[in-house]
Structure 1
Amino acid sequence: MNSNSVSTLAQGITIERWTRSSRMAVVISIIVLVALALAPSVLGAGSIDRMTALFIYIIMAAMWNALAGFGGLVSVGQQVFSGLGAYFTVRIADRGIDPFVAILIAGLVVAVVSYPLSLVMLRLKGGEFAIGMWVVSALTHLCVNLDGLIQGETGTSLISLNAYDSGMRRTIIYWLALVAMAAILSSLFVLLRSRTGAAIQAIRDNEDAALSLGADVVGTKRLLFVLAAAGIGIAGALWLASATSFQPKTYFSVQWTAYMIFMVLVGGIGTFEGAILGAIIFFAIETWFGALGVWYLIGLGLIALLFALFLPKGLWGEIERRFGLSLMPVGYRLKLPSELKVKE
């Protein structure tokens, strides 16, 4: 398939790569990112912190959706990477490295660590993989507790952040989160639109068929596994920078993966836009009802259950089904000539 946005086939049938709405969506996205970059000059401290949290949620949702929605690798243990991202940030910063540089290095270290882990975990299938990742997270949590610097569940703080003025620190974290979100989403979008992206989705749909067509099943899965690990690791490191304190039981909690699953399930699993929409919805619910404590968590569970029963493809999946709208297309769309369309 060539790189043109529209390829003409026999009898006037065409394959669309881009649509007018998707081109507009890209332009609007760029404008929004520029506006967000300038936002700290007009936002208060509380709003900056909340927007930083939103960017982190979007990263987490996009990475879990990439792994499960596009790759078919459902995991309930992705909190291992958010925990490691925060842990490595503390460890690297303790060596005297600037904490913001430590965040970036931590993301790379998580990616490196995830590679040998993938050699083992990708041998597992379905539920075995999902539960296996949870077991890995629990074991990693116990190992981190043994580090004298962490002091068990007492935890520690990213004290090197105190070298920065609180206002400047908050703004830098905001910009880092924004840049990380934009870079990760852009990289994921480019990947999914490439030949490798087509292979990823083919493997999800039918691994044996993809293998028979020459797809590198193991290598493609490993690439996706490492990418998701690195993204979630950076998200965990950014959350640490925002919160400053590190307690292993918080960062290695399965609650993080539960949040990722909720965002993707509500927004639309297997759709690029769905993860972003789900993160925004989750962010709004948390902002308005997070203070309700246990009732807030019960509400999240009920909402997830209702979506699983009545809108299994999520909000964006339903929008695509009803209106055929795709703002960030990662595949191709077959367009029939008007004379071949069935009139209702």
Structure 2
Amino acid sequence: MKVTRSNVYSRGVILSVVVITLLMTVLPLWVSNNAIERLTVLFIYITLAAMWNTLAGFGGLISIGQQLFFGLGAYATIRLSDLGVTPFVALVLSALIVGLLSWPISRFMLRLRAGEFAIGMWVLASIGHLLVNLDPLIQGETGISLIALNQYPIETRRTLIYWSALIGMLGLLLGLFCLLRSRAGIAMQAIRDNEEAADSIGVDPEKVKRWFFLFAAFGTALAGALWLAQASTFQPKAYFSVQWTAYMIFMVLVGGIGRFEGAILGALLFFVVETWFAATGVWYLVGLGAVAMLCSLFLPKGLWGFIEQRLGIQLIPVGYQVTSPTSQIAKPSPKETLCRHSEKPSS
């Protein structure tokens, strides 16, 4: 028996990712401004899906309040820019501040279980929305613009935001991949499957879940800050809306919850559907809900889970694989098999 952490597909994926990253880096030199803006949106969607999958798919922490960190990331960027911090430095600093803020939040939120945790996060997001509205700088629901971005020419600004979203997405995906392959990642998945059993073998569930909670909060806050840079305006009701978490849930459920590739595939599908059908208005949202329900009923493991089950393909394995070399297994020939079945037991 042989234990491996990669396969022929994953090794090919590494080369493909390097090539695609290089192409994406120089893409602003070739494509239109509209294409750059749409790709920036795609990078943010992939980041959001991966962060929600971090909590729910790999940790079993179902949250419907991740818009709290999305909105706080944008709000912190506004506040830091108002203090004179360069906008693109403020993007990273705001995500770090929100990540640090999530540490004390996790101290009491992770004491809740299942539905209590999900509803508790939604209530906390509503409280965050109300508190941000009290800030005189924000002017209530009127909102404010990220004026500091005007110091850059529009072409330069668009490219810098694109590169920031690309680097942020790749950095978070790489960080998540390394985290899942570490001892903490294995412990988190053990907690997801059976917290009592994991605790009985020496795993500290609260400590491990807190690190995953912090990582997901940081990534979601960075996505919120990037969305603010791309949209330029901040209105609390737009950034603290539960629709952001609904989008995350849709992407992960359709792509494949608990699978690294699933979140990316779900984000790509959501991006394509939004690009083609967003102009249909309310029917677009009805269609998203119908697709999510159908996938839950007929594809409980998501699209990538179905592909993985049917074809046995893992492009980005985060666990261990046990294989048995076929050369060591002596398979009987058809003639030998026939003779064995035709033999009669001796008296």
Confirm or deny a common fold (TM above 0.5): yes
* Residue 105 of structure 2 is aligned to residue 117 of structure 1: yes
Tell me which residue corresponds to 1:42: 30
CA deviations on 1:248-300 (whole Å, 9 max, x unpaired) are 00000000000000000010000000000000000000000011110100000
Distance 1:153 1:312 in 2: 39
Distance 2:294 2:131 in 1: 38
Structure of higher CA gyration radius: 2
* Residue 283 of structure 2 is aligned to residue 295 of structure 1: yes
* Residue 70 of structure 2 is aligned to residue 82 of structure 1: yes
Question: What RMSD over aligned residues (CA atoms) do the two structures have, in Å?
Answer: 1.3
Tell me which residue corresponds to 2:340: none
Q: What SS class does the counterpart of residue 334 from structure 1 fall into?
A: strand
Distance 1:310 1:44, change over 3 A: same
- Of 99, 119, 134, the residue aligned with 1:146 is 134
Tell me which residue corresponds to 1:5: none
In structure 1, list runs of 5 or more residues that go unmatched.
Answer: 1-12
* Residue 215 of structure 2 is aligned to residue 219 of structure 1: no
Where do residues 88-103 of structure 1 align in structure 2 (5 Å cutoff)? 88-103=76-91
> How far is 1:324 from its partner?
1.2
> How far is 1:30 from its partner?
1.2
Q: What SS class does the counterpart of residue 65 from structure 2 fall into?
A: coil
Q: What SS class does the counterpart of residue 203 from structure 2 fall into?
A: coil
Number of residue pairs matched by the alignment? 331
- Of 233, 240, 250, the residue aligned with 2:238 is 250
Distance 1:340 1:112 in 2: 57
Where do residues 122-133 of structure 1 align in structure 2 (5 Å cutoff)? 122-133=110-121
Aligned amino acid, residue 276 of structure 2: W
Aligned amino acid, residue 154 of structure 2: S
> How far is 1:341 from its partner?
9.1
> How far is 1:336 from its partner?
2.7
> How far is 1:70 from its partner?
0.1
Distance 1:96 1:318, change over 3 A: same
CA deviations on 1:89-143 (whole Å, 9 max, x unpaired) are 0000000111111111000001011000000100000000000000000000000
Distance 1:325 1:167 in 2: 41
CA deviations on 1:151-201 (whole Å, 9 max, x unpaired) are 000000100100110000000000000000000000000110111110010
> How far is 1:337 from its partner?
4.0
CA deviations on 1:221-253 (whole Å, 9 max, x unpaired) are 000000000000000000000000000000000
Tell me which residue corresponds to 1:10: none
Distance 1:136 1:201 in 2: 26
- Of 196, 199, 204, the residue aligned with 1:208 is 196
Give TM-score, length-normalised by structure 1.
0.95
Give TM-score, length-normalised by structure 2.
0.94
Distance 1:99 1:70 in 2: 33
- Of 225, 229, 249, the residue aligned with 1:237 is 225
Tell me which residue corresponds to 2:181: 193
* Residue 6 of structure 2 is aligned to residue 30 of structure 1: no
In structure 2, list runs of 5 or more residues that go unmatched.
Answer: 334-347
Distance 1:156 1:20, change over 3 A: same
Distance 1:252 1:340 in 2: 61
Tell me which residue corresponds to 1:328: 316
Query: Percent identity over the alignment?
Result: 58
* Residue 191 of structure 2 is aligned to residue 168 of structure 1: no
Aligned amino acid, residue 62 of structure 2: V
Q: Which runs of 4+ in 1 moved over 4 A?
A: 340-343
Distance 1:114 1:103 in 2: 17
- Of 229, 243, 263, the residue aligned with 1:275 is 263
Distance 1:293 1:16, change over 3 A: same
Distance 1:250 1:51 in 2: 21
